[in-house]
Structure 1
């Protein structure tokens, strides 16, 4: 596939998660709640997670922000549900590496749609947008 077609596909994936976010909303019952924001561009997120026996049983988010931050939150909540906390944290570290333009073994965690965000590495000002939800998740599992 030509590079231009791949960029177009990635933009479509990002916009789909932005317009039709997965796991947007609130968790009923006990949940770890983390509020974070990116004052640089005004992104804000509230992430809620249910963690039981070292497994992320559920994850939902709410907030407002640019297409990158909101689609990243949608992708992240999808990716971590059902995973061990340790794996979710390792996936977050791999995602951060990807945002810095480093090579990442995308098959280790089956990044799926998340790979669409790798182009963000070309725009350093947008990296904080992409990593906001991931940083919230890391903070939340440490508080649990």
Structure 2
């Protein structure tokens, strides 16, 4: 990857970290998922509003490194308005990208693509995937 692209990706990550999208808590009948990464102390509280098989809204609170918080910001943006099935599919693609596995590159990941460099740093993969794991857990529990 070129250093210009690395620089651009760093800027996108820092923008989401400094200006997080969808920060806060959803009230009413929303799902609340709390997760933490004991390895580094990142923690997240994700709230999801799901209706008729769709993620209507998503917000997060938490504290942690720039990678975990920017990933949560990007994830909440990416799944809003998506069906549960599409949100879980996006999570699988993100997980594959983090693990360096093949994934469907025809899908537009938007800002999420900026996190692909994290795959080169195994210790940071858990930071990037924390919010995604919380989302998967919440959506799978909601289906039951």
Q: Displacement, 1:106?
A: 3.4
**1:122 partnered with 2:141:** no
Q: Displacement, 1:142?
A: 1.1
Q: What do residues 12-50 of structure 1 show as CA deviations (whole Å, max 9, x unaligned)?
A: 000000000000001121100000000000000000000
Q: Displacement, 1:103?
A: 2.8
How far apart are the structure 2 equivalents of 1:51 and 1:117?
26
- Tell me the SS of whatever aligns to 1:37: strand
Q: Displacement, 1:101?
A: 1.1
How far apart are the structure 2 equivalents of 1:78 and 1:16?
14
Displacement over 3 Å in runs of 4+: none
How far apart are the structure 2 equivalents of 1:7 and 1:142?
34
Residue of structure 2 in register with 1:68 after alignment: 67
Residue of structure 2 in register with 1:101 after alignment: 100
**1:133 partnered with 2:131:** yes
Residue of structure 1 in register with 2:53 after alignment: 54
Q: Over aligned residue pairs, what C-alpha RMSD do you find? A: 0.9
How far apart are the structure 2 equivalents of 1:43 and 1:72?
12
**1:26 partnered with 2:28:** no
How far apart are the structure 2 equivalents of 1:54 and 1:107?
24
How far apart are the structure 2 equivalents of 1:32 and 1:92?
18
Q: How many residues align?
A: 142
Q: What do residues 89-132 of structure 1 show as CA deviations (whole Å, max 9, x unaligned)?
A: 01001000000112322332x21000000000000000000000
Query: What is the TM-score with the length of structure 2 in the denominator?
Result: 0.96
Q: What do residues 58-115 of structure 1 show as CA deviations (whole Å, max 9, x unaligned)?
A: 000000000000000000000000000000001001000000112322332x210000
Unaligned runs of 5+ in 2: none
